Amino acid sequence: MRDAPCDDSSPALRQLGAHTNLIRQVQKQFLTDAGPEANKKFDDLLSGLMSGKLTVDDLRTEARSAADQLRALKRDSGEDSGFAADAYLAILDQFLKGATPATSATNAPTPSSAPKPRPAAQQE
């Protein structure tokens, strides 16, 4: 018996397999020059998403780890690590920026929309 997926978008993710042309186009665009390890990782993650074994939160964990590793590599090798590394980091950061934890309340105010307390009268 398989564990139930925790992510509400899982049914849509499981339908990815019907879009093989799109999947291969993405893989070709981003992984053409990548090694077999990167292509295997892509296939494993995609398979996990389609089967419900992985959730979007699991992908966020992977993306956060990859971004941290890439930042460490940039730090160790200097700031000019190449356009490809910067572009990949930008993609990861954008994905993580749009991430909302599955446990967050949907009606909770965001920090920018939350009412701000009025400051006490300032003495001059």
- How do residues 48-99 score in pLDDT, each as one tens digit? 988 889 998 999 999 999 999 988 988 888 766 677 778 888 989 998 998 6
What's residue 105's pLDDT? Answer: 39
User: Would you place residue 117 in the very low, low, confident or very high pLDDT band (cuts 50, 70, 90)?
Assistant: very low
3-state helix/strand/coil string of 58-70: HHHHHHHHHHHHH
What's residue 5's pLDDT? Answer: 41
Eight-class DSSP state of 55: -
Higher confidence at residue 44 or residue 8?
Answer: 44
41: buried, middle or exposed (CB in 10 Å: 19+, 13-18, 0-12)?
middle
């992510």: which residue's tokens? 7
What's residue 37's pLDDT? Answer: 93
